[in-house]
């Protein structure tokens, strides 16, 4: 299942550096335990090699990008979990308080809906009717951070949280 060569320590280091840099720019923080972070980032690298994208290391990938889109790191649930629990599901990302050691985090409940509900929700997605005709541009929403933009098509990359354009959905 996994690649023939093991992920090297250097590869993990490089990826940690990149994720940490992007997190800092966006106002996010990584878990204060460096070894814990390295373990999760190694999992992300492993998943990228296995599936072709960085699927959440703490969730089971279904092996297709379409089915896993909401759990490609950073996942659609990160920001809500940071607000409610001070950490995302795998705890790669934590709040400023956790980062500073003022509070600690443990394993948190799974916010992602069960498989059957996700499939139903995906089938039912449609743009809001009514106001569309009165707008000069359609409005696109980033499913990870909620960034909205009014333009003909979503950006190649979210300018706020850096996820790819496939994470955008038509909002209005």
Partner 1 sequence: MQLVHVNGTDKGPVMLYALSTCGWCAKTRELLTDLGVAFDYIYVDLVGPEEQKEVIEAVERVNPSLSFPTVVIGEQTIVGFKEKELREAFT
For the bound state, the minimum distance from the C-beta of residue 89 to partner 1, rounded and expressed in Å, comes to 8
Nearer to partner 1, 50 or 170 (CB): 50
Q: Rule CB under 8 A: is residue 47 a binding residue for partner 1? A: yes
Determine the Cα–Cα distance for residues 137 and 35; give it in Å rounded to an integer. Answer: 46
Footprint of partner 1 on 17-36 (CB under 8 A):
36
- Torsion, Cα 108 114 120 124, to 10 degrees, reads 10
For residue 166, give the nearest of 70, 78, 77, 93 by alpha carbon. Answer: 70
Among 99, 112, 141, 170, binds partner 1 (CB under 8 A): 112
Q: Helices then strands (H, E): number in the chain?
A: 6, 5
Here the tokens at position 37 are 């972070």
Here the tokens at position 49 are 């090699």
Q: Rule CB under 8 A: is residue 42 a binding residue for partner 1? A: yes
Among 14, 21, 102, 115, binds partner 1 (CB under 8 A): 115
Angle (CA) 100 33 159, round 5°: 70
Q: Rule CB under 8 A: is residue 103 a binding residue for partner 1? A: no
Q: Rule CB under 8 A: is residue 58 a binding residue for partner 1? A: yes
Return residues touching partner 1 (CB under 8 A).
1-2, 36, 39-40, 42-44, 46-47, 57-61, 63, 90-91, 106-110, 112-115
């Amino acid at each position: 299942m996994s690649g023939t060569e093991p992920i090297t320590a250097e590869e993990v280091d490089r990826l940690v550096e990149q994720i940490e840099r992007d997190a800092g720019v966006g106002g996010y923080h990584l878990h204060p335990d460096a070894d814990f972070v390295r373990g999760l980032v190694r999992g992300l690298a492993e998943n990228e090699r296995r599936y072709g994208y960085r699927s959440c290391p703490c969730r089971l990938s279904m092996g297709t990008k379409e089915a896993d889109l909401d759990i490609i790191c950073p996942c659609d649930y990160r920001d809500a979990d940071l607000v409610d629990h001070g950490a995302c599901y795998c705890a790669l990302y934590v709040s400023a308080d956790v980062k500073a050691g003022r509070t600690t985090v443990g394993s948190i409940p799974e916010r992602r809906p069960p498989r059957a509900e996700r499939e139903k929700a995906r089938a039912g997605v449609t743009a809001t009717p009514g106001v569309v005709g009165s707008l000069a541009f359609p409005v696109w929403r980033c499913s990870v951070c909620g960034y909205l933009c009014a333009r003909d098509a979503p950006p190649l990359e979210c300018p706020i949280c850096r996820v790819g354009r496939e994470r955008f959905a038509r909002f209005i």
